[in-house]
Amino acid sequence: MPELPEVETIRRGLKKYILQKKIKGITINCEKSFIGVPPCGKVINLRRFGKALVIDLDNEKSLMMHLRMTGQLIFDGKDRYAAGHPSENFTAKLPNKQTRVIIEFENGKLYFNDQRIC
Protein backbone atom coordinates (compact mmCIF):
# COMPACT_ATOMS: atom_id res chain seq x y z
CA MET A 1 0.00 0.00 0.00
CA PRO A 2 1.41 3.39 -0.87
CA GLU A 3 2.23 5.44 2.17
CA LEU A 4 1.09 9.04 2.54
CA PRO A 5 4.29 10.59 1.08
CA GLU A 6 3.97 8.34 -2.01
CA VAL A 7 0.36 9.42 -2.55
CA GLU A 8 1.50 13.05 -2.34
CA THR A 9 4.20 12.33 -4.93
CA ILE A 10 1.58 10.75 -7.22
CA ARG A 11 -0.69 13.79 -6.77
CA ARG A 12 2.09 16.19 -7.70
CA GLY A 13 3.12 14.11 -10.70
CA LEU A 14 -0.40 13.71 -12.10
CA LYS A 15 -1.21 17.39 -11.61
CA LYS A 16 1.07 18.25 -14.52
CA TYR A 17 -0.99 16.10 -16.89
CA ILE A 18 -4.63 16.46 -15.82
CA LEU A 19 -5.08 19.84 -14.09
CA GLN A 20 -7.37 22.11 -16.16
CA LYS A 21 -8.07 19.23 -18.57
CA LYS A 22 -11.57 18.08 -19.45
CA ILE A 23 -12.74 14.52 -18.83
CA LYS A 24 -14.31 13.27 -22.06
CA GLY A 25 -15.48 9.92 -20.72
CA ILE A 26 -14.97 7.12 -18.23
CA THR A 27 -14.86 3.41 -19.06
CA ILE A 28 -15.46 1.02 -16.18
CA ASN A 29 -14.03 -2.46 -16.76
CA CYS A 30 -14.63 -3.67 -13.19
CA GLU A 31 -17.93 -2.64 -11.64
CA LYS A 32 -16.70 -2.93 -8.06
CA SER A 33 -13.89 -0.46 -8.77
CA PHE A 34 -16.30 2.45 -9.35
CA ILE A 35 -19.20 3.62 -7.23
CA GLY A 36 -21.74 6.10 -8.56
CA VAL A 37 -22.35 7.72 -11.92
CA PRO A 38 -19.23 8.60 -13.94
CA PRO A 39 -19.02 12.40 -14.04
CA CYS A 40 -17.50 14.48 -16.80
CA GLY A 41 -16.09 17.95 -16.33
CA LYS A 42 -12.90 19.96 -16.15
CA VAL A 43 -10.34 19.16 -13.45
CA ILE A 44 -9.97 22.19 -11.19
CA ASN A 45 -7.98 20.61 -8.37
CA LEU A 46 -6.09 17.46 -7.50
CA ARG A 47 -5.77 16.88 -3.77
CA ARG A 48 -4.99 14.21 -1.25
CA PHE A 49 -7.37 13.15 1.52
CA GLY A 50 -5.27 10.89 3.72
CA LYS A 51 -4.05 8.13 1.40
CA ALA A 52 -6.82 8.79 -1.13
CA LEU A 53 -6.40 10.93 -4.24
CA VAL A 54 -9.30 13.30 -5.01
CA ILE A 55 -9.95 14.89 -8.41
CA ASP A 56 -12.26 17.92 -8.07
CA LEU A 57 -14.28 18.92 -11.14
CA ASP A 58 -15.81 22.22 -12.20
CA ASN A 59 -19.35 20.78 -11.87
CA GLU A 60 -18.99 20.39 -8.07
CA LYS A 61 -18.36 16.63 -8.42
CA SER A 62 -15.24 14.78 -7.33
CA LEU A 63 -13.60 11.47 -8.10
CA MET A 64 -11.83 9.72 -5.23
CA MET A 65 -9.24 7.00 -5.82
CA HIS A 66 -7.38 4.71 -3.47
CA LEU A 67 -4.56 2.53 -4.78
CA ARG A 68 -4.96 -0.11 -2.06
CA MET A 69 -2.18 -2.72 -2.04
CA THR A 70 -1.28 -3.15 -5.72
CA GLY A 71 -2.97 -0.25 -7.52
CA GLN A 72 -1.44 1.91 -10.22
CA LEU A 73 -2.29 5.14 -11.97
CA ILE A 74 -0.80 5.45 -15.43
CA PHE A 75 -1.35 8.52 -17.59
CA ASP A 76 -0.71 7.87 -21.28
CA GLY A 77 -0.70 10.84 -23.62
CA LYS A 78 2.14 12.65 -25.35
CA ASP A 79 4.21 11.52 -22.36
CA ARG A 80 3.64 8.65 -19.96
CA TYR A 81 3.49 9.02 -16.18
CA ALA A 82 3.24 5.85 -14.09
CA ALA A 83 2.92 5.57 -10.32
CA GLY A 84 1.88 3.09 -7.69
CA HIS A 85 2.84 -0.55 -7.32
CA PRO A 86 5.68 -1.15 -9.82
CA SER A 87 5.16 -3.71 -12.59
CA GLU A 88 5.55 -4.18 -16.33
CA ASN A 89 2.35 -2.14 -16.76
CA PHE A 90 4.45 1.00 -16.42
CA THR A 91 5.74 0.41 -19.96
CA ALA A 92 3.19 -2.08 -21.34
CA LYS A 93 0.45 -1.42 -23.89
CA LEU A 94 -2.75 -0.42 -22.11
CA PRO A 95 -5.53 -1.23 -21.46
CA ASN A 96 -4.86 -4.81 -20.39
CA LYS A 97 -6.49 -7.41 -18.13
CA GLN A 98 -5.44 -5.44 -15.02
CA THR A 99 -7.10 -2.19 -16.17
CA ARG A 100 -10.15 -1.50 -14.03
CA VAL A 101 -11.09 2.08 -14.96
CA ILE A 102 -10.06 4.35 -17.85
CA ILE A 103 -10.57 8.10 -17.58
CA GLU A 104 -10.26 9.75 -20.98
CA PHE A 105 -9.02 13.33 -21.03
CA GLU A 106 -8.64 15.68 -23.96
CA ASN A 107 -4.85 15.08 -23.88
CA GLY A 108 -4.64 11.36 -23.02
CA LYS A 109 -5.97 8.58 -20.83
CA LEU A 110 -5.56 7.81 -17.15
CA TYR A 111 -5.59 4.08 -16.40
CA PHE A 112 -6.40 2.73 -12.96
CA ASN A 113 -4.87 -0.74 -12.81
CA ASP A 114 -4.79 -3.31 -10.04
CA GLN A 115 -2.96 -6.63 -10.21
CA ARG A 116 -5.50 -8.34 -7.98
CA ILE A 117 -8.40 -10.12 -9.63
CA CYS A 118 -11.47 -7.95 -10.09
Q: Pick 4-114's CATH classification: 3.20.20.370, 3.30.465.10, 3.30.530.20, 3.20.190.10.
A: 3.20.190.10
pLDDT tens sequence across 50-71: 999 999 999 999 999 999 889 9
32-63: burial string, b at 16+ Cβ within 10 Å, e else: ebbeeeeeebbbeebeeeeeebebbbeeeeeb
Question: Considering only CA atoms, which of 60, 19, 66 is closest in space to residue 39?
Answer: 60
Tell me what the mean pLDDT of segment 88-98 comes to.
Answer: 95
Q: Domain extents for the chain?
A: 4-114
Residue 118 — very low, low, confident or very high, per pLDDT cuts 50/70/90?
confident
Q: What pairs with residue 41 in β-bridges? A: 23
Question: Considering only CA atoms, which of 90, 93, 107, 103 is closest in space to residue 17?
Answer: 107
pLDDT at 1 over 80: no
pTM score, two decimals?
0.94
